[in-house]
């Protein structure tokens, strides 16, 4: 049987230019393009301000890590957490699921009232526990009333 080599360090990104990874290189390349467009379309004072802002954001996205993860994952987690509700409420009432092919009369008909469930006695609970524990292989007397 042939030996297969299992790659190690798969969580490390590939380096393309010294210590710079492909992701970092692309981020810096896009930032350089944005700075070039700012240079061609604005005066010197506005260009310097925009270049500092674009360069700072690009350097943060490319090199800064929060808890060992790239900064853009941290930003996505902040946005996802802010957009989801933080309070979850459990509503106990049961909802009746209606089928898509119901007629108009069936849809407008009131739901039947729920009947109260019978309480299960302790002898029945021990029988059920035995069935569950044995995987259904052993059952108590079937003749005993439940």
pLDDT above 90 (res 39)? yes
Residue 69, H or E segment: strand 69-70
How much is the pTM? Answer: 0.51
| The pLDDT of residue 13 | 74
> Does the pLDDT at position 36 exceed 90?
yes
Q: What is the DSSP string of 98-128?
A: PPTT--HHHHHSPPPPPPPPPPPPHHHHHHH
| 74-86: pLDDT as tens digits | 999 999 988 887 7
Q: How confident is the model at residue 146 (pLDDT cuts 50, 70, 90)?
A: very low
Instruction: Please say whether the beta carbons of 21 and 13 come within 8 A.
Output: yes
What gap in Å lies between CA 140 and CA 125, rounded to an integer? 12
């Amino acid at each position: 049987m042939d030996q297969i080599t299992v790659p190690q360090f798969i969580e490390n990104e590939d380096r393309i230019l010294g210590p710079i990874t492909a992701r970092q290189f692309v981020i810096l390349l896009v930032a350089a393009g944005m700075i070039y467009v700012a240079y061609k379309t604005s005066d010197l004072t506005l260009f310097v301000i925009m270049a500092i802002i674009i360069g700072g954001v690009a350097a943060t996205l490319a090199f800064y890590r929060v808890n060992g993860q790239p900064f853009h994952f941290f930003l996505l987690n902040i946005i996802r957490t802010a957009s989801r509700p933080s309070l979850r409420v459990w509503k106990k009432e049961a909802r009746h699921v209606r089928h898509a092919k119901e007629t108009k009369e069936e849809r407008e008909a009131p739901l039947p009232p729920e009947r109260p469930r019978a309480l299960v006695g302790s002898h029945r609970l021990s029988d059920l526990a035995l069935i569950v524990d044995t995987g259904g292989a052993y059952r108590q007397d079937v003749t005993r009333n439940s």
